Structure formats: C-alpha cells, structure tokens
C-alpha cells in the first residue's frame, strides 16, 4: 500500500509492539513527504497497532479480538485523536488570547461549559470563564466553529471506516456484526447501509450453507417486517392527516360560507342606508333651490357623493351614478352663481366708468381694484372668467393711469411756466423754491412711474443748476459795480 521505504520504517517502529511519540512523528513526516494524508496514515498506524496489541476491554471469551471489536476500536481511536487535536487547537487559541482561566473537564454540559465533544462518546469538555466583551465572544464563536468542524470530520471518518470495513471471515463474527448493525441501523444511516451490505455479502459467500443463510434471513425478514410496519404507520399517519385536513377544509368552507352570507346581508343593509342618506340630502337640496339659498344648495350638492364601500364590494357603479347625479344638480346652481358674479362686476365696471367721466379718479381707482372675479368651486375654477375680467380691469386701469399722468404732467408744466416768469423778473430765490417742487408725485400699485420720476428729477436738476449759475453771475456784476464806484471816489 505504501512505498518500500515507508513500509520498512513502519515495521521497525512496530517491532517491539510499542509506538512512541517520536517514532510516530518520524513516520508522519515521511508519509507527508510521499503525499499521503496524515489523518489516513495515522488511522492505518492505529489499525496495525490494534492488530499487534489486543484491546483489554473488548475481547471475546477466548481472549481473541473479533472483527466487531476491531471496528469499534477504530471508531474510538478516530474520535479520540480528533478530540485531542481539538483540545490542542483550543488551548493554542486561548494562549494566543492570553486567557488562563480554563480547565479541561469531562461530563455533562453546564452553562459556562463549551462542549467540544463529538457525539457524546468519550468527549472532552472545555470550561471557560469569558467576560462579556466583544473579543471574548469572538473567541467563543471560534471555539464553537472548531467544535462543529471536528464533529463533522469525525462523522465523515467514521462513515468511511464503517462503509469500507471488510466482511469478517468467520460466521460468528459475521452474525455479531449483523446483530450490532441491527441495533444501530435506525440511529445512523451508515449502520443501515452496513447492515444491508453485510447481509448481501454473507448470502453470496455462504450460499451453500442453508443453516447460516436461515440465520441471516431471520435478520433480513425482521428488517422487512419493520419496514412494512414503518410504511404502514406512515400510511396511517398520512390518512389521519388527510382526514383532519379534509375536516378542517369542510369546517372552513362552512364557516366561510356563513361569513360570506352574513357579509352579503350586511353589505346590502349598508348600501340601503347609504342610499337613504343621499336621498335625504337631495330632498334638502331641492328645498334650498326653491328658497334661492344658493350657498346652501351648493354645499348640499357637493355632499351627493357615495361614500360606502367594503373589501368585497367597492360600489363602483353606485359611485359613478351618484357622481353623475351630483354633476347634474350642480350645473344649474353653478350657472346662476356665475351669472350673479358677472352681474356684480358689470355694475362695478359701470360705476367706474361713471366716476372717470365725472373726473372722480380716486373713486374710479377704488372701483377698478374691485374688478376681480371671486367665485370658484372644486369643479370649476372659472379660469376663463377670471382672465376676461382681469383684461377688463387692466383696460380701465390704463385709462385711469393716462388721465392721472396727464394731470400730474399739467401740474408740473404749470410750475415750469411760473418758474420762467419769476426768473425773467430776476426773483431767483422764489425761482429756486419753485424748482424744488418739480417732483413727479403720482404713482399707483399698477404703475410706479419710475421713468417719469427719473425724467423730472433730471429736469429739476438742470433748472436748479441754471438758477444758481444766474445767481453767481449777478453777484459778479454787483461786485464790479461797487468796485467802479470806489475807484471813482478816490479819484
């Protein structure tokens, strides 16, 4: 199975029937150098050791180890080796983390014990005192992961050993193995497979031994009987489940039917109640129209909306029917309201034109500000009417502004006329006072008259500059006259 060199090393190491740790390490290094899996090689070594040295606890009455003893010993050795490796890995992890408060113990799991055993067969438990900080919790998770991986590895190796274990040579050992598999076959699937394969191989190898075949058939028939009982029990359970589900479905259908019937009745009553409510509103609406109370009529008409619905009936038809009815009732009301608003604005427009004609511009401006369409509702925002009356408002405001601007211009032109008169009469101080009055004063919310203000401010500045220049010129003429008179006096 291995190279000649490795086989010789194994034979020399096992010649005295004892395998020391040093010899084991030398063999493992040579096996790894030849590309052999260390775990498989170690398992093979243990098997050879078991062949040389019988296990003291598992021997037959003759003192000779049976095939089953060998198999169980192999399984126990695998578990022991993996647990030792796990313990070393955990100790290494704890030393790296500088945790010294731990101890190896055996027994049941307590609240502060992390179970690093594998399947509960001769396991090793590690008791740790871990504070509640994040780092220690991380270490605990790593230990759990190592434990989980070890359990999986042990199971995988045990399954390989069990499935590959050869058929014993003696009939007694075959029956012993079959009997043990029979006990374990419902605990783990691998024992079930071993049970079947052992029986099949035994039947082939001992096909001529009727007594032995009868003994094996007894186990086989018992297994078939158990399987029949199992399938019968499963079938009975399925039938029971089916009957219970059917009963539940029947109960559900009956309850649902009653619920639907009650819901339909309740829905019908609620729809009748909603219809009666809307009919009462419609009657009140008719009364408000007769009284010509359009505000009340419009408010009632807006309430003609179907509100009831349920998860079974959205009442789409009823909603649509009452929406149409609401629209029909609102249309004449809205028409009257719009006519009234139109009449109100026409009267304001007439009064504004009359005020302009009578030169009462202040009143005309007040009336022009009132030329705004005020009526609207949620169905008609009256955008066309608002735009039309905004246009009329702008037209009349434009007329008022033209008149007011012409008046302001006439006032300022009169000041200029008076200014020219006083300047010609050399009344310059009075002229300067009049010049300071050349300020455009009129403005409105529609026109701030910025251009006119700027133009007349420039005009005022020019006139004041001219007046001051004339004043300075006159002062020079007076001084020259006085100087000439003084000269004449001294002559």
> Model confidence over 325-346: pLDDT tens digits?
988 888 888 888 889 899 999 9
Separation CA 150–CA 143 (nearest Å): 10
State the sign of the Cα–Cα–Cα–Cα dihedral 461, 462, 467, 471: positive
What stretch of H or E contains 127? strand 125-128
Separation CA 172–CA 183 (nearest Å): 17
**454: how many CB neighbours lie within 10 A of its CB?**
11
Contact 382, 376 (CB under 8 A): yes
91-95, 147-151, 256-260: the lowest-pLDDT one = 91-95
How much is the pLDDT for 50?
Answer: 65
Please list, in sequence order, all residues whose beta carbon lies within 8 angstroms of the beta carbon of residue 447, skipping any fewer than 6 positions away: 401
CA 118 vs CA 50, 70, 158: distances in Å: 22, 20, 12
Per domain, the residue ranges of the chain are 83-163, 349-490
How much is the pLDDT for 128?
Answer: 43
Q: How far is CA 227 from the centre of its chain?
A: 51
Helix (H, G, I), strand (E, B) or coil at 234: helix
Averaged pLDDT, 382-386: 91
Q: What is the pLDDT of residues 70-105, one digit of tens each?
A: 888 888 888 898 888 888 888 887 777 665 444 343
Bridge partners of 379?
none
How much is the pLDDT for 320?
Answer: 92
How much is the pLDDT for 106?
Answer: 32
Contact 419, 463 (CB under 8 A): yes
What stretch of H or E contains 89? helix 67-96
Helix axis angle, 134-164 relative to 38-52, nearest 10°? 60
Separation CA 76–CA 286 (nearest Å): 100
11-20, 245-254, 408-417: the lowest-pLDDT one = 11-20
Please list, in sequence order, all residues whose beta carbon lies within 8 angstroms of the beta carbon of residue 249, skipping any fewer than 6 positions away: none
pTM given for the model: 0.40
pLDDT exceeds 50 at position 375: yes
DSSP 8-state assignment for residue 37: -
Q: What is the pLDDT of residues 174-203, one digit of tens each?
A: 888 878 877 776 667 888 888 888 888 888
Separation CA 305–CA 307 (nearest Å): 6
Tokens matching residue 476? 């020079």
Bridge partners of 412?
none
Kind of pairing between the strands at 125-128 and 102-105: antiparallel
How much is the pLDDT for 184?
Answer: 72
């Amino acid at each position: 199975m291995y190279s000649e060199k490795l086989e010789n090393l194994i034979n020399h190491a096992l010649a005295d029937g004892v395998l020391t740790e040093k010899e084991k390490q030398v063999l493992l290094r040579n096996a790894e150098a030849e590309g052999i899996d260390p775990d498989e090689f170690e398992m093979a070594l243990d098997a050879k050791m078991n062949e040389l040295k019988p296990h003291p606890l598992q021997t037959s009455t003759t003192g000779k180890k049976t095939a089953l003893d060998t198999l169980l010993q192999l399984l126990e050795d695998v578990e022991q080796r993996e647990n030792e490796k796990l313990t070393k890995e955990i100790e290494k992890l704890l030393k790296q983390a500088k945790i010294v408060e731990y101890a190896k113990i055996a027994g049941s799991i307590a609240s502060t014990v992390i179970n690093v055993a594998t399947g509960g067969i001769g396991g090793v438990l590690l008791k740790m005192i871990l504070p509640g900080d994040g780092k220690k919790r991380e270490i605990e998770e790593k230990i759990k992961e190592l434990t989980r991986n070890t359990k999986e590895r042990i199971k995988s190796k045990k399954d390989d050993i069990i499935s590959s274990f050869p058929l014993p040579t003696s009939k007694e050992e075959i029956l012993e193995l079959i009997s043990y598999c029979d006990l374990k076959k419902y605990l783990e699937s691998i024992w079930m497979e071993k049970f079947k394969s052992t029986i099949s191989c035994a039947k082939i190898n001992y096909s001529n031994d009727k007594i032995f075949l009868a003994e094996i058939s007894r186990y086989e028939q018992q297994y078939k009987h158990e399987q029949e009982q199992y399938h019968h029990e499963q079938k009975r359970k399925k039938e029971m489940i089916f009957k219970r589900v059917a009963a539940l479905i029947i109960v559900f259908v009956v309850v649902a039917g009653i619920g639907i019937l009650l819901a339909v009745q309740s829905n019908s009553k609620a729809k009748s109640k909603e219809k009666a409510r809307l009919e009462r509103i419609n009657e009140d609406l008719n009364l408000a129209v007769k009284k010509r109370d359009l505000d009340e009529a419009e408010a009632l008409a807006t309430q003609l909306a179907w509100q009831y619905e349920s998860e079974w009936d959205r009442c789409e038809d009823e909603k649509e029917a009452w929406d149409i009815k609401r629209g029909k009732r609102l249309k004449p009301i809205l028409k009257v309201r719009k006519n009234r608003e139109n009449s109100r604005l026409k009267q304001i427009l007439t009064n504004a034109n009359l005020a302009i004609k009578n030169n009462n511009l202040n009143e005309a401006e007040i009336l022009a500000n009132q030329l705004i369409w005020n009526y609207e509702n949620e169905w008609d925002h009256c955008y066309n009417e608002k735009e039309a009356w905004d246009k009329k408002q702008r037209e009349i405001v434009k007329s008022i502004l033209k008149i007011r601007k012409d008046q302001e211009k006439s006032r300022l032109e009169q000041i200029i006329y008076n200014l020219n008169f006083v300047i010609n009469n050399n009344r310059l101080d009075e002229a300067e006072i009049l010049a300071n009055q050349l300020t455009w004063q009129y403005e409105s919310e529609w026109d701030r008259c910025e251009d006119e203000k700027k133009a007349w401010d420039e005009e005022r500045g020019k006139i004041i500059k001219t007046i001051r220049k004339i004043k300075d010129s006159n002062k020079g003429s007076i001084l020259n006259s006085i100087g000439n008179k003084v000269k004449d006096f001294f002559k």
